[in-house]
Chain A
């Protein structure tokens, strides 16, 4: 087996030799030939070619070709639109446990003017590892407080954060206040009456503060539209939200929080996406009726003790049945590349594969206003796609090529470099 691994490594080296250019990858014109292409538009094309030019998809089809292009033989392989992790600190976070490598949160409760995009580390080891599994875009989000700031929709390769950004302001991160410590049963029900009263009071205050900020933002936006030149950086930053040009990604897990978040959207005329949504299945009809989508929290988490054992695994299937749109997220940076395997767990518990793939591609692109740029394999869109040996939901599949913004991204990363070093150590059995 070791011999096989060495041969494989040699093959990888040989094929990537053509694209010896370092990160963020070889530019040019490419033809990917003979693949089975899942376009994301409801079609799966057999034996199709994809032409990539100037960063975009130029043509897709059995006869698509280009003169002088770099040819990539993908016969027997599969091509999918780049996958999207719809909530992660990728680019803002590096080694956990080292505070200075995880500067995601600003002081204070209301920070809509904080922009994640400007703090993204282009050369993050985690970024390289993420894209190697076909995850070509992420929602990178700040955290903390009630309004954490602006999340960015980023490609996972580029020279600068400007180069990487698909939507610099993809969503406003709002954390709907949570009434802590009152769940019945495990982990709740504690606290003396005075402490409970104080916590309830704090919860009410936070909700009121949030509503005050939104009300003020609305008035501010109207005044500015009417010609006022008095600028407040915080409220200025909220104008795209108030005008419906960017959504709010509202953290809400419990049924009560989700209902309140939907109501918030209605009352202030803002577009709400639920973030987390552990109990979204309980209010699926409400979400469907109001066309409120969900960025699912990590599927790799335990439901509450009094919920069915598979509540989190089964939820995407239940939401799909009810007509609620959703995206998958890992919530982490180190393993953002596992986002298709989160979706796989949902497929194991009832979600159709086709829906799982959409929830990894075009649905998040739609939610964050980038469906004209990414999410499917169609002419005119950014060439964000990958070549794989099989079903991307299947852990055993091997990704062999990744294109981001038309660049053929090198497939080496911190992990493969360490692997190759120690695999080549003499000795062994």
Chain B
């Protein structure tokens, strides 16, 4: 029985892993939540060569274009998850040292979470290291091209992103147990000094290279400094070539990191979790940092005790660009429900709430010129819902990436029937 069942799972994966060939598509007669230009009723979205070619109520669908009937359905930009640990090969923490910006996450293509995320309308995600290190390493922005090899998942044009982390998780990496690793830093104070020490080193390194380049113009025999990939990455961070996404909880540590970055001439691009961001919202806005948070996740550790669901609305109302992320292979499947929580607590508007899973995370990943709204010229990453995505009766009908259907609920339902039949017919006496 088990063999049969597992081969069914494989069959599911294979069938679903074969998206429709590149073809022009029109979604007709749907309610379109454009994010950029309001909500359009009875509208058509025309997709050509994987991009949005036309949006509106008076779009003519050319012959030969595959039509998806959108009657009664809601169409929105594909959901973007700005904090995920899916599709990562091996562990997510390089736990040996606390500062490892040279480490780069390897992407894998066979994580079922990609498919389940698609089934929740998700089309892109930022894959990040864990939070054991002050500076954990470089992440990856992917599209949910389920079934394609790992190399094809990378989202071209996205930022280079490095994960920082503050607070309990970083300091917890050392414990007092006799056999466990003892590692600096062990306090929030130590985290600040770790950052200052390493960025001072990187400044020095950068200066040595600048001096060398200057010398080399006159002296062909000038000897270059020894290359150091770690310091090189830190220098890239200071230049803004790698954007910082910082795991953070408390207001004090968020403020500390902004001040450290300012002292070294760079900016924290996005704070992750940032559960007490509402306490320093004005400072975040002034620094120019964005925020990617949980909708309503609190009380699981001391630094999450002051997390409130009004965080999104409060930060947003003071000018911070806010997204809602999953940080979980479970929540990623229902981010549309998480975003609705922004309306419940603190009174966000519907569009602001929808932006938290579309345009705002796109900005945080550096892909807002490519995706995040339904606008002509953007890549056709689209989710089709059975009802308004915030309504209790909503589920995802179809998810398109680059204009191709990667998830189709009707197909999934057919497969479910097949699998259920198989399970029942093969559950015979010898299995019991």
With a cutoff of 8 Å between Cβ atoms, the chain B residues found around residue A306 in the complex are: 5-6, 8-9
CB contact between A8 and one of B329, B347, B386 (< 8 Å): that residue: B347
CB contact between A185 and one of B9, B345, B391 (< 8 Å): that residue: B9
- B344 contacts the other chain (Cβ, under 8 Å)? yes
Contact flags B283-326 to A (C-beta < 8 A → 1, else 0): 00100000000001111111001101110011001110000000
**A185-B6, A305-B9 in contact; A429/B319 too (CB < 8 A)?**
yes
- B371 contacts the other chain (Cβ, under 8 Å)? no
Q: How far is the CA of A321 from the CA of B148 in the complex (A)?
A: 38
Q: What is the distance, in angstroms, from B371's C-beta to the closest C-beta of chain A?
A: 23
Q: What is the distance, in angstroms, from B196's C-beta to the closest C-beta of chain A?
A: 28
With a cutoff of 8 Å between Cβ atoms, the chain A residues found around residue B301 in the complex are: 95-98
Most chain B Cβ neighbours within 10 Å, of A2, A282, A301: A2
- B416 contacts the other chain (Cβ, under 8 Å)? yes
Q: What is the distance, in angstroms, from A47's C-beta to the closest C-beta of chain B?
A: 25
CB contact between B310 and one of A185, A344, A349, A415 (< 8 Å): that residue: A415
- B61 contacts the other chain (Cβ, under 8 Å)? no
- Inter-chain contact B281/A428, CB cutoff 8 Å: yes
- A94 contacts the other chain (Cβ, under 8 Å)? yes
- Inter-chain contact B2/A5, CB cutoff 8 Å: no
The chain A residue with its CB closest to the CB of B340 is A395
- B278 contacts the other chain (Cβ, under 8 Å)? yes
Tell me the count of chain A residues lying within 8 A, CB to CB, of chain B. Answer: 54
- B260 contacts the other chain (Cβ, under 8 Å)? no
Q: How far is the CA of A184 from the CA of B4 in the complex (A)?
A: 11
- B330 contacts the other chain (Cβ, under 8 Å)? yes
CB contact between B278 and one of A305, A343, A391, A422 (< 8 Å): that residue: A422
The chain A residue with its CB closest to the CB of B387 is A348
The chain A residue with its CB closest to the CB of B396 is A348
With a cutoff of 8 Å between Cβ atoms, the chain A residues found around residue B391 in the complex are: 394
With a cutoff of 8 Å between Cβ atoms, the chain A residues found around residue B279 in the complex are: 422
The chain A residue with its CB closest to the CB of B394 is A348
Q: How far is the CA of A418 from the CA of B278 in the complex (A)?
A: 9
- Inter-chain contact B314/A419, CB cutoff 8 Å: yes
- Inter-chain contact B306/A418, CB cutoff 8 Å: yes
Residues 68-119 of B contacting A (Cβ, < 8 Å): 112, 115-116, 119
- Inter-chain contact A300/B334, CB cutoff 8 Å: yes
- Inter-chain contact B346/A5, CB cutoff 8 Å: yes
Contact flags A360-401 to B (C-beta < 8 A → 1, else 0): 000000000000000000000000000000010111111000
The chain B residue with its CB closest to the CB of A301 is B330
- Inter-chain contact A310/B392, CB cutoff 8 Å: no
- Inter-chain contact A428/B331, CB cutoff 8 Å: no
With a cutoff of 8 Å between Cβ atoms, the chain B residues found around residue A8 in the complex are: 347
CB contact between B299 and one of A5, A96, A345, A428 (< 8 Å): that residue: A96
The chain A residue with its CB closest to the CB of B334 is A345
- A42 contacts the other chain (Cβ, under 8 Å)? no
- Inter-chain contact B308/A419, CB cutoff 8 Å: yes
Residues 80-132 of A contacting B (Cβ, < 8 Å): 94-98, 125-126
CB contact between B392 and one of A308, A344, A415, A419 (< 8 Å): that residue: A344
- Inter-chain contact B337/A1, CB cutoff 8 Å: no
Q: How far is the CA of A345 from the CA of B331 in the complex (A)?
A: 12
- Inter-chain contact A348/B392, CB cutoff 8 Å: yes
**A349-B395, A396-B340, A419-B346 in contact; A94/B299 too (CB < 8 A)?**
yes
Q: How far is the CA of A137 from the CA of B330 in the complex (A)?
A: 27
**A95-B301, A422-B314 in contact; A345/B309 too (CB < 8 A)?**
no
Q: What is the distance, in angstroms, from B350's C-beta to the closest C-beta of chain A?
A: 8
- A338 contacts the other chain (Cβ, under 8 Å)? yes
- B282 contacts the other chain (Cβ, under 8 Å)? yes
- Inter-chain contact A126/B299, CB cutoff 8 Å: yes
With a cutoff of 8 Å between Cβ atoms, the chain A residues found around residue B331 in the complex are: 300
- A21 contacts the other chain (Cβ, under 8 Å)? no
With a cutoff of 8 Å between Cβ atoms, the chain B residues found around residue A429 in the complex are: 285, 317-319
With a cutoff of 8 Å between Cβ atoms, the chain B residues found around residue A396 in the complex are: 340, 343-344, 390
With a cutoff of 8 Å between Cβ atoms, the chain B residues found around residue A397 in the complex are: 344
Q: How far is the CA of A152 from the CA of B317 in the complex (A)?
A: 42
- Inter-chain contact A333/B299, CB cutoff 8 Å: yes
Q: What is the distance, in angstroms, from A290's C-beta to the closest C-beta of chain B?
A: 18
Q: What is the distance, in angstroms, from A322's C-beta to the closest C-beta of chain B?
A: 13
The chain A residue with its CB closest to the CB of B341 is A395
Q: What is the distance, in angstroms, from B410's C-beta to the closest C-beta of chain A?
A: 13
Q: What is the distance, in angstroms, from B128's C-beta to the closest C-beta of chain A?
A: 20
With a cutoff of 8 Å between Cβ atoms, the chain A residues found around residue B308 in the complex are: 414-415, 418-419
Not counting A305-B112, A353-B392, A414-B308, a sample of 10 additional A-B residue pairs whose C-beta atoms are within 8 angstroms of each other reads A1-B313, A302-B329, A306-B5, A309-B119, A391-B392, A395-B390, A415-B309, A416-B310, A418-B310, A428-B318
13 contacting pairs across A/B (C-beta < 8 A):
A2-B317, A4-B347, A95-B300, A96-B300, A302-B116, A306-B6, A306-B8, A333-B299, A394-B390, A395-B337, A397-B344, A415-B308, A428-B319
B residues with CB within 8 A of A: 2-3, 5-6, 8-9, 112, 115-116, 119, 278-279, 281-282, 285, 296-302, 305-306, 308-310, 313-314, 317-319, 329-331, 333-334, 337, 340-341, 343-349, 386-387, 390-395, 412, 415-416, 419, 423
Nearest 5 pairs of A and B residues by beta carbon: A344-B392, A334-B299, A96-B300, A395-B340, A97-B301
